[in-house]
Amino acid sequence: MDFFAHQELARKQTRRMLVLFALAVAALIAATNVVVLVGFGIAPEMRGQAIAVISLGTLAVVGIASLYRISSLRGGGSAVALQLGGVPALPGTGDFTYQRLRNVVEEIAIASGVAMPEVFVLEHEAGINAFAAGYTPADAAITVTRGALDKLTRSELQGVIAHEFSHVLNGDMRLNIRLIGVVFGIVVLAAIGRRILIHGGGRSRNRNTGGIVIVAIALLVLGWLGVVCARLIKASIARQREYLADASAVQFTRDNQGIAGALKKIGALSAGSKLEAADREEISHMLFGDGVGYSSFFATHPPLIKRIKRLLPRFDPAELARVSAAWENPVQVGDTDSEFASLAGFAPAGAFGAVADAAASSLPDANAAIRLDSHCVTRQVGNPGDDDRSVAGSIASSIPDDLRAAAEKQEYAVALVLALALGAGTTARDHGLALLADAYDSGTLQRVDRLCDRLRDIHPLQRLPLAAMAFPTLRRRPRAELDALVKALAMIIAADGLVSLSEYCLATMLRSQVIESLDPSSHAAIGRTRLPSLATELANLYSVVAQHGHDDDAAAIRAFQLGIEEALPTSTLGYQPPSDWVASLDQALPKLDRLAPAGKELVIAGLVRAISSDGVVNASEAELLRTICACLHCPLPPLLQR
């Protein structure tokens, strides 16, 4: 799967949705004009003015209603999950199913290089389903039903979560929220007609009563015809994306049996994937499985059997009956890691044996220099493979339990990020703690000091993932506290007059994946700017990268030239490192984030070419590359392809 092609596809589908929406609204306006003109018998000489008023009024009602509904979801994925009654799957609750769910989401987040999303559970939903919501990966939320937790094995849940992550990576979430707004705007016309009938149509003896009733009935009919159009729009956009997400999940996990097993259980078990929530129709296009039960004409998901057969071409539908029979009397199993065991520790009748998860691969040597291919790395963006998942599992599982617990605790998360910034050196730590004394109490400072000792021996590849584990906890803190943390980090980093790459990466990832999530609707993942218009910003970016990755000017100049040659061959700008490289990157990256997907692909290819111009890439350069990619909303897995 090509991340940049999918981003462009999401962009095209957004344009297609807007065109279809405009056509539907235009048809509604025309029909409303006809109804009002006939219903009230408006004189021919007044019709021109009446048509203008009616058209603008209808357009205003639909537009304002759509914008209102979209603005109500400005909180991002969490807002959608909470409106549906989602319960946060917080760490430290003692619930085994919650912790295993978080572990699966965490592993896939690390493997894909995106921020760890918020995790929610729809506790009262027995069907097997899930959805991802949000404006950007930084504010995403993954929500699963209790039925998924009770009935799916770990590998099946991995398949479902990987499917949802593909929607995160491919830019589908923002489109999904806009679809919610579009449908709501059209439905409002029907609601207005119904209100007029209830409260105004039959209570007056005025001669215009008949006209009012006709208009109200017409609005009701037209509104529901509009709903039919909206459902068709949703169905036409959503079905193909589900096939793509299934394929992406298989490519992600290298396991077609997991997601296919989840689909089989949806088809075999009585609860299926249906939701009971009142708002299920509004989010129908976002779900893993059909949560409403639409007919094939309005279905937002392809037929279940077709989805399974695309994953398992030799699948026999008769197998669903066998799965159903086996689950009529599920049995408790002792080994919750069994290939048959659901997350709740149950297995179908007759299941036995256990197959342990494959051992995670060892972490790469932190000091080893690696050789990269620019085109392999760009294909890897948003497209993690089995090696990435294995490395992610190793990174996550090998982080000491007390540090993982610190990342998940409200009172420790801030201290952990500060400790990561201070490092393990005694001199820098003491000076940093002194600087923090005015901003934090003694208890926080003591926690920072203890965590600095614990961080001494962790693998360099674990630093940013450990910080990322703390980000969901930080997102639940007050904005003032997060602003104070950003200022504290800046103060620590600037204390010695030098900014290291690791310090810059930590502070930048905090802003990108935590602060951004506080106002997610303003951060677009897909831009329209063309690369040539940002040649100066590109040259500054490549100059900084070349300067930090090479010991002498000649090598840095060569690296810069190779990067520019890859990304923007027509540029005449030369190598000129800015005097303040941090400010230069902070200015360039937000502008480069507004590039069209094809432009971002060229930027990353040039970055890799520049970084690897000397034939090797060290850990700090790889960390910087991954941070830049995160700022461009192009998540990069932890293991770079050679």
- The per-residue pLDDT for 161 is 93
Residue position matching structure tokens 């000017």: 553
In the set 106, 125, 164, 621, the catalytic residue is 164
Q: Which residues pair with 144 in a beta bridge?
A: 121, 130
Angle (nearest 5°) at CA 370 between 364 and 372: 125
Q: Is 164 a catalytic residue?
A: yes
The DSSP line for 525-553 is SS--B-GGGGHHHHHHHHHHHHHHH-SSH
The DSSP line for 121-145 is EETT--S--EEEE-SSGGG-EEEEE
Q: Which residues pair with 342 in a beta bridge?
A: 153
- The per-residue pLDDT for 591 is 92
- Sort strands 331-332 and 346-347 into parallel, antiparallel or unpaired: antiparallel
* pTM recorded for the entire structure: 0.66
Beta strands in 109-218, from DSSP E residues, in sequence order: 118-122, 130-133, 141-145
Q: Which residues 6+ apart lie within 8 Å of 102 measured at CB?
A: 89, 91, 119
Q: What SS3 class is residue 118?
A: strand
Angle between helices 47-71 and 172-199 (to 10 degrees): 130
Contact call for residues 186 and 62 (beta carbons, < 8 A): yes
Q: How far apart are CA 231 and CA 27, in angstroms?
A: 16
Q: Which residues of 355-391 are buried (b: 16+ CB within 10 A; e: fewer)?
A: eeeeebeebbeeeeebebbbeebbbbbbbbbebbbbb
- Sort strands 141-145 and 346-347 into parallel, antiparallel or unpaired: unpaired
Q: Which residues pair with 370 in a beta bridge?
A: 617
Give the burial class of 324: count Cβ atoms within 10 A of its Cβ; 0-12 exposed, 13-18 middle, 19 or more buried.
Answer: middle
- The per-residue pLDDT for 334 is 56
Model pLDDT for residues 60-119, shown as the tens digit of each residue: 888 888 888 888 777 778 888 898 899 999 887 788 889 889 989 988 888 777 888 999
Q: What SS3 class is residue 570?
A: coil
- The per-residue pLDDT for 456 is 83
Q: How far apart are CA 347 and CA 8, in angstroms?
A: 42
- The per-residue pLDDT for 356 is 32
Q: What is the mean pLDDT of each run of 10 residues along the chain (642 residues)?
A: 61 70 79 76 80 85 85 80 90 84 88 86 94 85 93 89 85 77 78 73 54 73 76 75 78 77 91 85 85 76 88 87 79 58 62 36 53 64 64 78 88 92 72 88 92 85 85 85 90 82 88 75 66 93 90 91 92 89 92 89 90 77 86 76 56
